[in-house]
A = this chain, B = another copy of it.
Amino acid sequence: MTASATQTAPRKRAGNGAAPHDVADEIGLDALVGHAGYAVRRFQIWIFQDFIKTLGAVDIRPTQYSVLTLIGANPGLSQMAVAKRLGIERARLVHLLDSLEQRNYVKRVKSKVDRRSHALHLTTQGETALAKFKRLAAEHERHVEEKIGKENRAQLLRILAGFT
């Protein structure tokens, strides 16, 4: 609507700019504000970047962390079960486990009840490593609290609990 105002874009507000703002900061988003997906996407990028940075010293990415945590809490799971639970393609999990097995965090044990599947376990090294990862992940979670507030983080988790 109002397709006439083509050239008169509200680029800057009146020239009382005291702070040295970046030009891009003042561009209106119009209909984009009010879209949940856009806000969630931007937030998700921020949160993942902080996670990757906080766990950068141990070189663990969010997906790897979720796999290790799940196996640590439920030893013996099959790859299919892990993939389903985390919403990962089982094809993709293969590569993830290849990497984690190479780093000696996880081992694939041939299941005896179903010789098609592998029972997934953490190695001893994997368990001690995961303990360290969890400490770093808790630190990351504190960053989130600092960013959006403790209350808001709790509400967020409550609202999105159905997706975990």
Contact = CB atoms under 8 A, between A and B. Distances in A.
Interface of A: 1, 3, 6-7, 9-11, 22-24, 27-48, 51, 62, 66, 69-70, 72-77, 80-81, 84-85, 87, 121-122, 127-128, 131, 134, 137, 140-141, 144, 148, 152-153, 155-157, 159-164
A134 B3 CA distance: 13
Q: Which of A51, A66, A134 has the most CB atoms of chain B within a 10 A radius of its CB?
A: A66
B40 A44 contact: yes
A164 B7 contact: no
A7 B85 CA distance: 19
A160 B148 contact: yes
Contacts of A157: 34, 36, 39
A21 to B, nearest CB: 12
A37 B136 CA distance: 14
A152 B34 CA distance: 13
A131 B35 contact: no
Given A43-B160, A148-B159, A76 B29 contact: no
A162 B62 CA distance: 23
Contacts of A28: 73-74
A51 B36 CA distance: 11
Contacts of A134: 31
A110 to B, nearest CB: 16
A69 B31 contact: yes
Contact of A156 (B36, B44, B81): B36
B156 A9 contact: no
